């Protein structure tokens, strides 16, 4: 199965506002981008208080779309983003995870 990517370049700084923005403005498009493939949602880096909603997003979408894999990642550095995408592409047992690069 191929790995589709859905990129979000900007979200509000507040965790609550960012979560609402993602679910209201991006969730349907992310689902559409997935098609019949695995999916990685790529979000911009954020403070620690965004972690819970991002983990829930990854977990809940992975459950909904199993056996397809869904992961969420936060990346700012391009090289680290590409390395993590490669890892997720090859790690066929990894799903429902929120992964962060250390930019």
pLDDT for 22-33, tens place per residue?
Answer: 999 999 999 999
Q: Once rounded to an integer, what is the mean pLDDT over residues 32-52?
A: 96
pTM comes to 0.95
pLDDT for 54-99, tens place per residue?
Answer: 999 999 999 999 999 999 999 888 999 999 999 999 999 999 999 9
- Report the pLDDT value the prediction gives residue 103, as an integer from 0 to 100: 63
Query: Helix, strand, coil proportions of the chain in percent (round to 5)?
Result: 50, 20, 35
- Report the pLDDT value the prediction gives residue 75, as an integer from 0 to 100: 87
Strand 98-100 versus strand 38-43 pairing type: unpaired
């Amino acid at each position: 199965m191929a790995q589709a990517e859905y990129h979000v370049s900007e979200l509000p700084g507040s965790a609550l506002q960012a979560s609402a923005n993602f679910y209201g403005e991006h969730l349907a498009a992310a689902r559409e981008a997935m098609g019949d493939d695995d999916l990685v949602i790529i979000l911009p880096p954020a403070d620690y208080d965004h972690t819970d909603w991002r983990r829930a997003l990854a977990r809940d979408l992975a459950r909904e779309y199993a056996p397809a894999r869904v992961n969420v990642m936060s990346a700012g550095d391009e090289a680290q983003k590409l390395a993590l995408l490669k890892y997720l592409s090859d790690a066929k047992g990894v799903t429902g995870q929120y992964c962060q690069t250390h930019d």
